[in-house]
Chain A
């Protein structure tokens, strides 16, 4: 069953076509990675899905409902949750309050407090919960944002380069976290450059190149596709 369906979507900025006639289906319960070289249109496609950009043409369906014209908050209310490429947290507010703002519509009272504690512990931020979010390291801000996205308990978790700026250990741990959420039934769409991370989490992969779908399939078939290796992975990485 398809949770998100992108149908014939294009996005043009003046004379530049960033995304061209893209079809993409993300199935319920999978971890789907969107990869490609710089400038391939990954982040643009991501922003089209979350509603930050309106498409020039095409449509986007979520759970069979056409959401093309909906604003981002309405998409979130349907069950999407997003972590942006650059850390996007409330820097002048304490870490706990960041999580609280994400949780307060779903939980209240003791339940909310318990969930705040659980998420802060899960994200290794319990000791820093009273710090201002802006005082956290880059990697910690990434985790905080992932925590805020998770707090919504979404059907679909969208992660744009979630491990940017993280150490290899932090990256691995993030991958394990994503796998554990997926095991609980959460669908995940990840835009990522780090192939080790993609290998760790991906069940299906879509390769974008010059704004178009270049290849798609399971992880093994993509890794063994020589054309993909040529445009992006480099042959030494592919094997």
Chain B
């Protein structure tokens, strides 16, 4: 099973790559030992968004579905966490609230995805419909300022946003600061490795085949709609995980975290990083979030303009993504193989997998 961690769909393989992985992980784990609490909190904040970026990478880069709806599911799970945490009384129940809010986002993705995919919506129209749904939710939540808009004791509060929910809590221990940071690192490692295994599996084969030529994939006996729906639900569920963690982290959520500027951000991260590779997306998104946050301290407008400029530069200069391009160069220098040499690695991987199975 672990052989699926490497394969034709992912950049990075062999001892050198995994040694780098362990080194980066060790660096991440030791960071709180020498950083101040502000820095650790900031890093935890950056990591929150990585799930959403990885989800979009799976849908867009591997599945060929450009979803503009990542913040839709971010919002559903974010508000869902708030409503559930408040209604369940906080405390350890926040763990259940986190899990249930992600499930809620996945159910919503399943419903929306079913109608879109079974309705034959694809290409640019997929992006338009998901963006429309996102804007509808953002506008709706913006109009919930009145006291009548509540679910149990949880008030939605319109543009001012929802607050008053507990952070993730185990017993009497609030999962904040370094603890939250370590939870984030652990979740990212799990999600990243699980996604690598997914895209290098038989299911991943069908997902990329559907991206390449859905009619041919169907002519090989695959009901491509089911694979597209699965991809959409997983990718949107990861956005939901970001949303629930965000609400837990800040103990608030507002409609602005769902609206148009927020919805565009994951597209920029993933396009800049390299949508067709999970590692490039992870690294690139983290770097962009770090840069964005650093610039935002001085000027939020300048940060947004820079994001737009980066998107334009990506489209013009590196349509496959800057980080992925650099990663492929690095793989070449180090004697590794990237997706461009997927065939050679495929042959080898297939032999290894067949021996194991």
Indicate whether B208 reaches chain A with its CB closer than 8 angstroms: yes
A-contacting residues, B109-168, CB 8 Å: none
Indicate whether B35 reaches chain A with its CB closer than 8 angstroms: no
Given the complex, which residues of B lie within 8 Å of A184, measured CB to CB? Answer: none
Nearest chain A CB to B219's CB is how many angstroms away?
5
Q: Is B344 touching A72 in the complex (CB atoms < 8 A)? A: no
Q: Is A89 touching B351 in the complex (CB atoms < 8 A)? A: no
Given the complex, which residues of A lie within 8 Å of B274, measured CB to CB? Answer: none
Question: Could you say which of B208, B215, B216, B354 contacts A113, with CB atoms under 8 Å apart?
Answer: B354
Given the contacts A73-B218, A77-B221, A88-B215, A112 and B354 also touching, CB distance less than 8 Å: yes
Indicate whether B171 reaches chain A with its CB closer than 8 angstroms: no
Indicate whether A101 reaches chain B with its CB closer than 8 angstroms: yes
Indicate whether B314 reaches chain A with its CB closer than 8 angstroms: no
Q: Which residue of A lies closest to B344 (CB)?
A: A130
Contact string against A for B residues 298-312, beta-carbon threshold 8 Å, 1 for contact and 0 otherwise: 000000000000000
Q: Is B208 touching A130 in the complex (CB atoms < 8 A)? A: no
Q: Is B209 touching A90 in the complex (CB atoms < 8 A)? A: yes
Indicate whether B85 reaches chain A with its CB closer than 8 angstroms: no
Given the contacts A113-B354, A129-B343, A88 and B219 also touching, CB distance less than 8 Å: yes
Q: Is A89 touching B216 in the complex (CB atoms < 8 A)? A: yes
Q: Is B346 touching A91 in the complex (CB atoms < 8 A)? A: no
Indicate whether A216 reaches chain B with its CB closer than 8 angstroms: no
Q: Is B219 touching A89 in the complex (CB atoms < 8 A)? A: no
Indicate whether B212 reaches chain A with its CB closer than 8 angstroms: yes
Given the complex, which residues of B lie within 8 Å of A89, measured CB to CB? Answer: 213, 216
Q: Is A96 touching B209 in the complex (CB atoms < 8 A)? A: no
Given the complex, which residues of A lie within 8 Å of B213, measured CB to CB? Answer: 88-91
Q: Is A130 touching B220 in the complex (CB atoms < 8 A)? A: no
Indicate whether A105 reaches chain B with its CB closer than 8 angstroms: yes
Q: Which residue of A lies closest to B356 (CB)?
A: A109
Indicate whether A233 reaches chain B with its CB closer than 8 angstroms: no
Interface residues contributed by chain A, number (CB under 8 Å): 39
Indicate whether A190 reaches chain B with its CB closer than 8 angstroms: no
* Most chain B CB inside 10 Å of its own CB: which residue of A81, A93, A95, A105: A93
Contact string against B for A residues 104-119, beta-carbon threshold 8 Å, 1 for contact and 0 otherwise: 1100111011001000
Nearest chain B CB to A158's CB is how many angstroms away?
10
A-contacting residues, B192-211, CB 8 Å: 202, 205-206, 208-209
Complex CA–CA separation, A91 to B341 (angstroms):
14
Q: Is A88 touching B216 in the complex (CB atoms < 8 A)? A: yes
Q: Is A100 touching B350 in the complex (CB atoms < 8 A)? A: yes
Complex CA–CA separation, A142 to B345 (angstroms):
24
Given the complex, which residues of B lie within 8 Å of A66, measured CB to CB? Answer: none
Q: Is B212 touching A91 in the complex (CB atoms < 8 A)? A: yes
Complex CA–CA separation, A73 to B86 (angstroms):
47
Given the complex, which residues of A lie within 8 Å of B342, measured CB to CB? Answer: 93-94, 97, 132
Complex CA–CA separation, A198 to B341 (angstroms):
40
Given the complex, which residues of A lie within 8 Å of B216, measured CB to CB? Answer: 84, 88-90, 145, 148
Q: Is B354 touching A110 in the complex (CB atoms < 8 A)? A: yes
Nearest chain B CB to A38's CB is how many angstroms away?
23
Nearest chain B CB to A152's CB is how many angstroms away?
7
Nearest chain A CB to B223's CB is how many angstroms away?
5
Given the complex, which residues of B lie within 8 Å of A91, measured CB to CB? Answer: 212-213
Complex CA–CA separation, A74 to B222 (angstroms):
8
Indicate whether B243 reaches chain A with its CB closer than 8 angstroms: no
Nearest chain A CB to B155's CB is how many angstroms away?
47
B-contacting residues, A51-98, CB 8 Å: 52, 71-74, 76-77, 81-82, 84, 88-97
Q: Is B350 touching A72 in the complex (CB atoms < 8 A)? A: no
Complex CA–CA separation, A113 to B215 (angstroms):
25
Given the contacts A88-B213, A101-B205, A94 and B223 also touching, CB distance less than 8 Å: no
Contact string against A for B residues 13-25, beta-carbon threshold 8 Å, 1 for contact and 0 otherwise: 0000000000000
Indicate whether A7 reaches chain B with its CB closer than 8 angstroms: no
Nearest chain B CB to A211's CB is how many angstroms away?
24
Given the contacts A101-B206, A102-B220, A104-B202, A95 and B343 also touching, CB distance less than 8 Å: yes
Q: Is B221 touching A101 in the complex (CB atoms < 8 A)? A: no
User: Top 4 closest A-B pairs, CB basis?
Assistant: A130-B343, A94-B343, A76-B221, A90-B212
Since A90-B209, A95-B343 are in contact, a sample of 8 more A-B pairs with Cβ atoms closer than 8 Å, ordered by chain A residue number, is A73-B223, A90-B208, A90-B212, A96-B347, A100-B350, A129-B343, A130-B346, A148-B220
Q: 18 A-B residue contacts at CB 8 Å?
A: A72-B219, A76-B218, A82-B219, A90-B208, A91-B213, A93-B208, A93-B209, A94-B346, A97-B205, A97-B343, A104-B202, A104-B205, A105-B202, A113-B351, A129-B343, A130-B341, A130-B347, A148-B220
